[in-house]
Structure formats: structure tokens, C-alpha cells
Structure 1
Amino acid sequence: MRILIVSQYFWPEKFRINDLAVGLKEKGHEVEVLTGKPNYGKTTFYEGYSFLNKSRETWNDIKIHRAALIPRHKANNIDLVFNYLSFALFGSIKAFFLKGRYDKIFVFVPSPIISGVPAIVLKRRKKIPIYFWVQDLWPESVTATTDIKNKRIINFLESVTHWIYKNCDKILIQSQAFTPSILQRANDEKKIIYYPNSVEALYKVVSPLGEFKRQLPQGFTVMFAGNIGEAQDFNTLLNAACITRDHNKNIKWVIIGDGRKKPYVEQKIADNNLQDVFFLLGERPVEQMPNFFACADCLLVSLKSNYIFSLTIPSKVQSYLACGKPLIGALDGEGARIIKDANAGLVSDAEDSVGLANNIEKMSKMSVSERAKLGNNARAYFELEFEREKLLDKLEDIFKSDL
């Protein structure tokens, strides 16, 4: 099949869609990507990119068509609005002039949902079916993660969401809990297909290596990997760290990643004298993450208490499960359910710092064999529900069912 992937984000930005594109290519499909100029996590474009240059590239034998856009700058609400709208506009212009022939359009949709507009432009021009892979619910995620409360804006986003879903042939959802919200706007249950995230094949069980162990503090290591943002609720983590420090100074919190809240977290570490137990290692190459995970005693996932967040499966859950380590969850809903169903760790409610601290102390007192059993359960559940090749086969079946 000839597949065009539409995504505002793509390599060298680090998103799951990169590996899915490679996976489809490995299975013999012709894959092209319509995306924007890379700028995620930066105040401007990635090095070597600008508003006008590199409109075409090739990566892993995948042809990339890059639309101009306005970078995220400081990523405040106004900056993000211009960033989102610019890709919808310039991506649509780019789509209109694409000369390739495609059998399917596959749209990767974290935020914003309007990144699907270029796909609809191309569908109307060339009569190609659209498969819309929803990672975040709109407009709910907007009201949950921003201070936008204006009813006119929310009603506008609601109308846009209805229009986009109406123009999709299939809507793939990363969490089964998305179904009621999607159905309310798509009005067609037959469109909706559960299709969860997997992870790159590099996420697997590996042996701990000294070169990575030496980068970590000595003690019982609780490791968090990913975005240091509002949704991840670092206040709860920091409060729990204060509790564990007072009870057991051997418990060390290690954060690998970066994000808008990092300066805030750094200040809180200083204010609460957590420098000896709470460590920010910064970003590391994705290829190294399984090695860091192997050196940790448990892996931490957290989200704020919010109805929308409770419907989402944080993508780090699959990464953690794949690496066969015990999980500590401080979250509600689907993410918590998966950890419990897998019998892969301990879970407390979102924003419950006391419960989180108690679970970490409980896990620190487990024997090595008890924690190893939880890790084995994690890997087994991953292979059953989220294994990469199995999900690529499922996506092929979804495509072929409409041929």
C-alpha cells in the first residue's frame, strides 16, 4: 500500500509516529510523511531548519514533505495557537499540491486536533480514506491543560472537532476509555477502533551496565522518564520525596527528561532541601533509556487528578512494561488499571503524595525476587497487549479491511 502519514510532529522530533512509519516501511509499504518544520520543545526551529528551507527530506527511505510553520517560541497559549494554526494552514497548502498517489492517509493526532485539516484537504482532492489516530481528546484536553475557559473558544473547538471526525473514515483510539467522548462527536460507532500505542523495538529487557549505573545516585532508585510538565504533577512527587526523605534517606528519586516545569522543580528541590534525594539528570538519547531503566529499582508514572487524564494511557507505561521493571503509579483511570491488571507494581490515586510515598517505601522493602516477579509480569503483559509487531499487523488488517 501507498500510505501518507500526516503529523505536525515527526523526526527529528521524538514521537511514536516515527517508529510506526519505520515499521510500515519494514513491512513493505510505500510510506511518505507530511509534517512541519521540527521545533517541538524548542523556542525556535531545530538546528539546520528554518521557515523556508528543507521542504523535502528523506529519512530511513521515507520521503518527508515539510510545511512551513510558526515555531512554539515560549509555548504559552498565544504562541501555541499560532503554531497550531500555522501548520493547519501551511500544511493544507502543501497537501493541496502533493503529486503523489496514495491508498491511505494515516493521521497521528496528539494535540492539536486541527493538525488533521491538511489530511481532509487531500482527501477531498484525491478521494483517499483517512485513518485518524487520536492520542488526546479535544476540546477536553485544552481545558484540562490550559487556562482557556472562554465559552466561544471552546464552542469553536467543539465545532471543529465534530467537523474533523465527520470527515474521517476510521477513528483509531489509544485508550478504550476515549470511546464515549469520540462517539458523542463522531456519531458512528463503526468508525471507532481501539488501537493502542506500542514502543520502539529498542525498549526491551537488558542487563544493567556499569557506565549507566555510575550516573545514578546510590540507593533505592525510583526513576521517572519523560516530560517535566504540568500534567505530570511534580508537586505530588516532590511532596512524596519530602516524606520518603524523612523516613528513608536511601530512597533516591531520579528524573530523566526536560520540560516547561523544570525551573519550577529545581526551585522546589532547593526550597525543600531535597538535593540529596531528588536528582534531575536532564534529557538522554532515547536509545539509552532501556539501559537507564535496567539500573533503576522501579519506574514511576504520574498524572494530575483530572477526568481527561484518567482516560489516557500515558505512553511511558508501555515503555516501562516493555523493559520488564516494577511500576509505581500515581494516577487514576486507564493507566492505573493497566498496572493493576498486569500485576506489575503498586498504584496510588493521583495527587496523593502520602499514598505514593507509602507505596515507594513498601516496594523498597520488597525482596529482589519479589520485584523481579513484578517486572516479569510487566513484560508478559506488554507482549500480550502492546507488542510492536503484533500492533503493526493489526494496523495492516485495519487498512486491508477497507480495500
Structure 2
Amino acid sequence: MRIGVLSQWFDPEPGPASLPGVLARGLAARGHDVQVVTGFPNYPDGRVAAGYRIRRRFDETLENVHVRRVALYPSHDSSAIRRTLTYGSFAASALLSGVERLRGMDAVWVGNSPVTVAAPMWWIRYRYRIPILLHVLDLWPDTVAASGFMSNGKFRAVEGTLNSWCGRMYRSASSVAYISPGVGRLLQDRGVPADKLTYVPLWAEEHLTRRPVESMRAELGLDERHLVLVYAGTLGGAQGLESLVDACAKVDDPNFCCLVAGSGVSEADLRRRARDVGATNVRFLGRVPKERMPALMATGDIHYVSLRPSAMAAYTMPSKVQATLAAGKAMLVAADGDVASVARESGAGIAVGSADTALVLEGIRQAAILGRRNLRLLGERGRDYYYRTFSAATGVGRVESALRKIARQEVSHAG
């Protein structure tokens, strides 16, 4: 098949932004001609990656995947105006300089976040008459509300427009993929027909977990006595990390250490909070380079996943869930809904409910009682569950099947 991929995010961007690259390479490895339209890499800090400079367009081939990059305004700070410029500039550039690369494809996979990608998506669908598999990676407008990126007043002013916009995206797509059971149910409630939906959970960057690595304990001054809890990811409003900091301040075990790696709009406030509440056992590492993430994963005995209590928390599935399971590590999950269900079903997690200080503290105490050896056993269960449920091979296969189906339907309708 000739398959297109339309995503603002792509290699060499790390974390969840790398997942479209895994998909593209997986499809190419199965013999498909894969053409990608994406932006210049600048996630997560808004700085263009080394080796790239922004220009109108730039073509390259990465591991048999043909990539066209188009210009955008790079920003990932807390400014709603600059973030909107980032999203809007990619959509405009993709429409003007990118979509021509996808003419003649049998089907196109589209990552829905940000929803401004609808502009080039609609051109592909209606101008080129190519079927679209829209993968709902983030549920909009819910993501905007939960992130704290926009004030309540501003959000209410645009909520109706965003809902209408997303509804048009779902209707124009030939098929809509969802990443967790809760999202699938919600999309049905929002009018997407059940026969148009397909379950495609996301996968981890598995190559980062396939070889043993040395942990960072020695360089961080930690030894085998220390029980290490790691949070790695975005430091933003949706994660509710204040309760983690407050809980750590109440842990009196001198061998307990919490490592916080990442950056985001809440980083300065969290550092200040740790100082104010006396959480001396919390260490902020800042952004850890992608190549060091396996070592950081190996350092933790248990990894923290949290979501601030909200309606959206019930169906949000952070990418670190799959990353932690694939790495064979135990999880402390301070969230309800689909994430808590995975923690229980996998046997890899301690699920304590919402991100509340008392509940998080109880989870840390449970981890301490289990000890490092038993936490390793939980992690081994999680790795087995990951390869049964979330692996990249499984996910790519599901996407491939969905693309084949909508391509056949398009040919049938044309005939």
C-alpha cells in the first residue's frame, strides 16, 4: 500500500512525539511505501533540534520512510498565543507545502493533536479523495481544559467552537481510532458511530528497553539501600504533582528518594513548593536527554503516574504507562479510570486513586513494605502484560488493518 502519515510530531522528538515515527517505520518494515508530512522537530522545549533549521520545506529519508518537513513557529511555553501560533503555522504550512506529497496515497493516518491538523486533513480527504484514519491521541477540547493552558473564561469562550471543529473531524474521517476504552465510550457519546471506531492503544519506544543498561544510581549518590520513586514527564497542571511533593515531605524513611525528571509550565512552582514544605528527598533533574532515559528507568524501583482529578482523568492514558510496563518497572498510579484499570490488570501497579497527598503517601508506604525485590516482580508482570496488550507490533498491525479496510471501502464506493 501507499500510506501517508500526517503528524505535527515526529522523530527525533522524544516521548509521545516519537510514536508516529515508530508507526511509520513499522509500516515501512511491512513493505508499504510510507510518506510523512510533519514539522521541524522542536518538542518539548521549542528549540529546533540540532541538525535542522526551519525553512519552507525539507525532504529527507529516515529508515525507508520518506519525510517532508514544513515550516512552523516553534514554541512550547505557557503562552496561549505562541502555542496557537505553533499549531496554526504547522497546519498552514502543511496545507501549502506538504499535502501535495500525499497525493495518490491509498490511505492516510492522521494524528489528531493538535486539532488544527484538520485543515490539511480535510484537503487530503475532499480534494484528493483519500480515506483518512484519524487517531485520537488527545481528546480535544478536554485536553485544553485539563492542562491549565487556558483560563476558564477563555476556555468557555472557545469550547463550543472546538467541539464543533472536532465533530467535523470525526465525521470526515473514514475511521476513528481511540487509545483507551474510556475514550471509545466518550466518542460514541459524542456521536461517532460504533462501527466507525477501532481500538488502537499506543505503544512505547521499545528500542529504549530492549538492552540492559547501567542505572544512574552511582552518579546520583544512591546505593542499593535506597528505594527510588521516579517521575519522568511533563511538569504541568494536568499531572497534579503537588500532591507527590507534599507526600514525599511526610516520608520519614532516610532511604527513600524521589527523582523528578522533565520540564513544563509547573516546574518552577514545584521546585519552590518542595523547598517550602521541606521535601528534601525530592530531587529535580530537569530534562533528561532521550539517550539517558533507559538509565533513568533502570534507576527507579517504582515509577509514578498521576493525573489531577477531573472528568478527563477517567479516560486519559499517559504514554508513560506503556513506557513503564515495557521497561519492566512497577508503577505507583495516582489516578482513576483507565490508567488505574491497567495498573490492576497488569499486576504491575499500586493504584491509590486520585492524586491526593494522603493517598499518594499511602502508596509510597506500600511500596516500601513490598521492598525492592517484590517491586521487581511486579515489573516483570507488567512487561509480560505490555507485550500481550500494547506492543508496537500489535499496534502497527491494528493500524495496518484499519488502513486496508478504509482503502478497500474507498475503492468500493468509487466503483
User: So what's the TM-score if we normalise by structure 2?
Assistant: 0.89
Number of the residue aligned with 2:117: 115
Q: Secondary structure at the match of 1:98?
A: helix
1:175 maps to 2:175: no
Number of the residue aligned with 2:134: 132
State the distance in 2 between where 1:144 and 1:257 align: 19
The question of whether the paired residues in 1 share the 8 Å contact of 2:235 and 2:263 is answered with yes
State the distance in 2 between where 1:217 and 1:105 align: 49
1:359 maps to 2:363: yes
Number of the residue aligned with 1:265: 270
State the distance in 1 between where 2:372 and 2:46 align: 44
Q: Secondary structure at the match of 1:365?
A: helix
The question of whether the paired residues in 2 share the 8 Å contact of 1:117 and 1:164 is answered with no
Alignment of 1:138-287 (within 5 A): 138-145=140-147, 146-150=150-154, 151-204=156-209, 207=212, 209=214, 212-218=216-222, 219-244=226-251, 247-275=252-280, 277-287=281-291
State the distance in 1 between where 2:185 and 2:394 align: 26
Moved over 4 A (4+): 47-51, 205-208
1:374 maps to 2:381: no
Q: Secondary structure at the match of 1:304?
A: coil
Q: Secondary structure at the match of 1:300?
A: strand
Q: CA-to-partner distance for each residue in 1:149-169, whole Å, 9 max, x for gaps? A: 344411111111111111100
Number of the residue aligned with 1:305: 309
The question of whether the paired residues in 1 share the 8 Å contact of 2:5 and 2:36 is answered with yes
State the distance in 2 between where 1:25 and 1:99 align: 15
1:314 maps to 2:318: yes
Check 1:187–1:61 CA distance in 2 against 1; reply closer, same or farther (3 A cut).
closer
1:71 maps to 2:94: no
Tell me the CA shift for residue 310 of structure 1.
2.0
2:45 to 31, 42, 53: 42
Check 1:90–1:304 CA distance in 2 against 1; reply closer, same or farther (3 A cut).
same
The question of whether the paired residues in 1 share the 8 Å contact of 2:22 and 2:392 is answered with no
State the distance in 1 between where 2:323 and 2:312 align: 21
Q: Secondary structure at the match of 1:294?
A: helix
Number of the residue aligned with 1:86: 89
Q: Secondary structure at the match of 2:10?
A: coil
The question of whether the paired residues in 2 share the 8 Å contact of 1:6 and 1:116 is answered with no
State the distance in 1 between where 2:162 and 2:112 align: 15
Deviates more, 1:150-159 or 1:13-22: 150-159
State the distance in 1 between where 2:23 and 2:120 align: 20
Tell me the CA shift for residue 202 of structure 1.
1.8
Number of the residue aligned with 1:52: 55
- Supply the AA of the counterpart residue of 2:70: A
State the distance in 2 between where 1:56 and 1:370 align: 49
Check 1:77–1:168 CA distance in 2 against 1; reply closer, same or farther (3 A cut).
same
Number of the residue aligned with 1:291: 295
1:10 maps to 2:10: yes
1:330 maps to 2:334: yes
Tell which has more relative contact order, 1 or 2 (C-alpha 8 A, sep 6+).
Answer: 2
User: So what's the TM-score if we normalise by structure 1?
Assistant: 0.92
State the distance in 2 between where 1:169 and 1:385 align: 25
Query: What count of residue pairs does the alignment treat as equivalent?
Result: 398
State the distance in 2 between where 1:302 and 1:353 align: 12
State the distance in 2 between where 1:95 and 1:82 align: 18
The question of whether the paired residues in 1 share the 8 Å contact of 2:95 and 2:119 is answered with yes
- Supply the AA of the counterpart residue of 1:8: Q
- Supply the AA of the counterpart residue of 2:274: I
Tell me the CA shift for residue 89 of structure 1.
2.0
Tell me the CA shift for residue 264 of structure 1.
1.9
Q: Secondary structure at the match of 1:202?
A: helix
Check 1:205–1:42 CA distance in 2 against 1; reply closer, same or farther (3 A cut).
closer
- Supply the AA of the counterpart residue of 2:107: K
Check 1:185–1:89 CA distance in 2 against 1; reply closer, same or farther (3 A cut).
farther
Check 1:21–1:97 CA distance in 2 against 1; reply closer, same or farther (3 A cut).
closer
State the distance in 1 between where 2:191 and 2:129 align: 20
State the distance in 2 between where 1:343 and 1:88 align: 42
- RMSD, aligned CA: 2.1
Tell me the CA shift for residue 278 of structure 1.
0.8
- Supply the AA of the counterpart residue of 2:302: C
Deviates more, 1:181-190 or 1:27-36: 181-190
State the distance in 2 between where 1:188 and 1:126 align: 24
Tell me the CA shift for residue 237 of structure 1.
1.0
State the distance in 2 between where 1:367 and 1:40 align: 36
Tell me the CA shift for residue 49 of structure 1.
4.2
Check 1:353–1:152 CA distance in 2 against 1; reply closer, same or farther (3 A cut).
closer
